[in-house]
């Protein structure tokens, strides 16, 4: 499969995530859109790793393995990030009884 298709698929998923962050006010949905953007980048990294393997694989059978390790670390960091982010959202709900992000604009005063 040519690499173009994977690039356009990842760009489409990323832009859906961006549009979701900009259009929704529910903090949890915004957080889920951020996860979607992280995953689209992961997909692109894996596709690039197979592209690297195709380009260099004859002489170097390990080509492209770094990208997959990188994706693994992105997943690790995303798991830690989600736990902290959800704790913050739960605290926000406990204090304001709402998960509307616009409610937080009083932080600027």
Q: How far is the CB of 108 from another protein (least distance, A)?
A: 18
Closer CB to another protein, 62 or 108, in the complex: 62
Q: Does 80 bind another protein (CB under 8 A)?
A: yes
x/- site string to another protein, residues 26 to 65, per CB under 8 A? x-xx-xxx-xx--x--xx--xxxxxx-xxx-x---xxxxx
E strand or H helix at 9: helix 3-23
**Can you tell me whether residue 27 is helix, strand or coil?**
helix
Kindly state the number of chain residues that form the binding site for another protein, as judged by CB under 8 A: 76
- Residues sharing a CB contact under 8 Å with residue 18, sequence separation 6 or more, in sequence order: 33, 37
Q: Which two tokens stand for residue 84?
A: 């902290």
């Amino acid at each position: 499969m040519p690499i173009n298709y994977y690039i356009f698929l990842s760009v489409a998923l990323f832009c859906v995530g961006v549009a979701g962050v900009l259009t929704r006010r529910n903090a949890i949905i915004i957080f889920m859109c951020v996860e979607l953007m992280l995953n689209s980048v992961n997909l692109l990294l894996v596709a690039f790793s197979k592209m690297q393997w195709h380009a260099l694989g004859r002489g170097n059978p390990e080509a492209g393995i770094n990208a997959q390790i990188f994706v693994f670390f992105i997943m690790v960091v995303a798991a830690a990030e989600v736990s902290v982010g959800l704790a913050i959202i739960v605290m926000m709900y406990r204090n304001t009884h709402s998960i509307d992000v616009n409610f937080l604009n009083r932080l600027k005063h």
